[in-house]
Chains A and B, each alone.
Chain A
Amino acid sequence: MPFEWWMALRFLREGRAQTALILGGIGVGVGVIIFLSALITALQTSLIERTTGTQAQIVVRPPEDEVRPLVRAVPGPGGIAPAPRIERPPQRLRSILNGTQAMAAIARLPRVTAVAPTVAGPAFALRGAASSSIALRGVEMESYSRILDLASRLTSGTARLRGTDAMIGVELAKDLGLGVGDKLRIAVPEGRRQVFSITGIFDVGNRDLNKRWVFVSLRSAQTLLGLAGGISTLEVKVDEIFAAEEVAQTIHGRTGLIADSWMQTNSQLLTGLRSQSSSSALIQVFVILAVALGIASVLIVSVVQKSREIGILRAMGTSTRRVVRIFLIEGAILGLGGSLVGIALGSALALFFASLAKNPDGTATFPVALGAGLFLRSAAIATAVGLLSAVLPARRAARLDPAEVIRYG
């Protein structure tokens, strides 16, 4: 073992009470950071989940019809001139060109975890004399379940969309007096209509969507909406929710399709989350500062206590560089050791907190987000802080005049 490590470890081991106290101090600091990070991350994830849980993280749709200047006939050579007014064309329901290829290309992008094709358009649900305006959504159950898991949101029936199966929301079921196994007629404005049988009734936690969403198989929706073989939107999920915007831009760049991320469509929520994150970051910075001051002060005291020993070490030929290293190593070890204490403390606190906040059904209100990434990051920060905090004490130790400290202590 190198001399410096040997000295640093022994000094720490023999300074039991001091070492234990500062490890406790760093531990509490790191614990607060772990707890706060886990809590904020969990709260934000849960909030985003609640607010945007029914939306895909990224929705990809075909480019809009371009605005073409109209021309009008004028007398004279040429005979035409641009119209004085440019009108935005009405947007038709269109399918994505080469939808399957686009889907495969998006699925291959890094960070993308799921892609589901959907065909969506306006329609009416009819039963007897009652009718209700609905949003018809044709999906493949297998791919769509990775975007929005309907099976877990069922109030009755099963999540199955084959042939003329349809799934409706609880509100629509109530309005039209429908239950699982009942028949429902769906008509589109163009006049096409089809009878479906209800396989499942869902509750996605949003009253409006529970009233308007009707899921049918992709093929049925294609037929009804007149988009045979087409896909009107692709819904995309990414591995990390805040990566959505970046991935959306990549998708737009690669395919030329319009890709809207939840971050764009919920910019106010995002602003709120960002300011929450920055206030949490500010707290963490102050905690780190307090930890740094704690480490520095303990090491300075230790330099003062050991000044005679340092003088003796210098007298017997220990270079100032080695003396500096001894204290830097002490700082780094304290930081790392304290972070281990902190990880244990913070995790325990977070888990305890999560166990207190429970839904009526016994599930945790929010799962705390404790992960290896957070632990590694905290340990790295604490070690670096320990090292930096030791710079001042180490320089002080190196500047000691051996003759003076040996003679006068």
Chain B
Amino acid sequence: MAEAGTEVSDQGPILRLLGVRKSYGQAVVTEILHGIDLTLERGEFAALIGPSGSGKSTLLYLLGLLDRPTSGRIELAGREVSTLSEQERTERRGRRLGFVFQFHHLLPEFSALENTMMPMLANAGREEPGMRDRAGRLLASIGLGDRLGSQVTQLSGGQQQRVAIARALAMEPLLVLADEPTGNLDTETGDQVFALMRRFNREEGTAFLVVTHDPRIAERCDRVIELVDGRIVSDRRSSQKAPRALAPD
């Protein structure tokens, strides 16, 4: 794959996890993640794989500042964030991170354009000049320029997921976290959606972390992080990328 992310001017990793543990329960404590060390670089395109119950989703929500670790540090753009207030975490999440889920999770009350604008509106508090244009351009670039006003319920599964990707990119985030983005789509549609993410990675320098079960998807990513039983068991980069596995395997 092509070299990506070089146009991002800020230096340093986007996210860095140091000794992150996460456990649930009070009477019976179940530890899901046992000391994760992980660094996500700017502009990279990584896959997170692993069997069911390995802690992939838990890790993804920690990375997305949707959850707090039981112990350990999480740094977003060089700043420790797990101890910040909910308000500050929400704000950082909105500005730096985008989300794509297995089910598109678009808001059915709104049109494709409105869904794409929503992160901008939610962060700014009201519509500002340029928002509508940006959302329109994003949708046009994913081939939905003629469906701006459509209710999302009238779109096909692949179209919905593409709108979800446009929405994730609306705030020009550093990193998009994608949880099984193609899991609910047929192979062909899934490939189109994947290609779209690769394209934004290449053209905009947006980093992606894709959680997937699908080995075909994983092998087309620049980096593959494998999680088993709450531990990173392998972290490989494809040969074109500056390779250096963090976890020796």
- Chain A residues at the B interface, C-beta cutoff of 8 Å: 1-4, 6, 10-11, 13-14, 308-309, 312-322, 401-403, 406-407
Q: Residue on A with the closest CB to B91?
A: A317
Cβ of B167: which chain A residues have Cβ within 8 Å of it? 316
Whole-angstrom distance between the alpha carbons of A312 and B64 in the complex? 12
* A327–chain B nearest beta-carbon distance, Å: 15
Contact A10-B91, Cβ < 8 Å, known A1-B126, A2-B126, A407-B57: no
* B126 touching A316, Cβ below 8 Å: no
* B94 touching A317, Cβ below 8 Å: yes
* B110 touching A10, Cβ below 8 Å: yes
* B125 touching A3, Cβ below 8 Å: yes
The contact string, 1 if C-beta is below 8 Å from chain A, for chain B 83-120, is 00011001101110011010001011110000000110
Say if the beta carbon of B66 comes within 8 Å of chain A.
yes
Cβ of A308: which chain B residues have Cβ within 8 Å of it? 105
Say if the beta carbon of B18 comes within 8 Å of chain A.
no
Cβ of A11: which chain B residues have Cβ within 8 Å of it? 109
* A316 touching B99, Cβ below 8 Å: yes
Cβ of B203: which chain A residues have Cβ within 8 Å of it? none
* B183–chain A nearest beta-carbon distance, Å: 13
Q: Residue on B with the closest CB to A322?
A: B122
Contact A318-B90, Cβ < 8 Å, known A2-B126, A14-B109: yes
- Chain B residues at the A interface, C-beta cutoff of 8 Å: 57, 61, 64, 66-67, 86-87, 90-91, 93-95, 98-99, 101, 105, 107-110, 118-119, 121-127, 167, 171
With beta carbons under 8 angstroms apart, the residue of A1, A317, A406 that contacts B122 is A317
Most buried by B among A10, A13, A317: A317
* A318 touching B105, Cβ below 8 Å: no
Cβ of A313: which chain B residues have Cβ within 8 Å of it? 107, 118, 122
With beta carbons under 8 angstroms apart, the residue of A1, A320, A322, A401 that contacts B127 is A1
Whole-angstrom distance between the alpha carbons of A309 and B108 in the complex? 9
Whole-angstrom distance between the alpha carbons of A406 and B126 in the complex? 25
Cβ of A312: which chain B residues have Cβ within 8 Å of it? 99, 101, 105, 107
* A309 touching B126, Cβ below 8 Å: no
User: Can you pick out 8 interface pairs between chain A and chain B where the beta carbons lie within 8 Å of each other?
Assistant: A11-B109, A13-B109, A309-B107, A312-B101, A317-B91, A317-B94, A317-B95, A406-B101
Whole-angstrom distance between the alpha carbons of A10 and B95 in the complex? 24
* A109–chain B nearest beta-carbon distance, Å: 51
* B91 touching A315, Cβ below 8 Å: no
Cβ of A403: which chain B residues have Cβ within 8 Å of it? 61, 64, 66-67
With beta carbons under 8 angstroms apart, the residue of A3, A10, A317, A406 that contacts B171 is A317
* A322 touching B125, Cβ below 8 Å: yes
Cβ of B110: which chain A residues have Cβ within 8 Å of it? 10
Whole-angstrom distance between the alpha carbons of A319 and B126 in the complex? 13
* B61 touching A320, Cβ below 8 Å: no
Q: Residue on B with the closest CB to A3?
A: B121
Given contacts A317-B94, A403-B61, 18 further A-B contacts (CB under 8 A): A2-B126, A3-B121, A10-B110, A309-B105, A309-B107, A312-B99, A312-B107, A313-B107, A316-B98, A316-B167, A317-B91, A317-B95, A319-B91, A320-B90, A321-B87, A322-B125, A403-B67, A407-B57
Whole-angstrom distance between the alpha carbons of A406 and B61 in the complex? 10
With beta carbons under 8 angstroms apart, the residue of B87, B108, B119 that contacts A319 is B87
* B184–chain A nearest beta-carbon distance, Å: 14
Q: Residue on A with the closest CB to B125?
A: A3
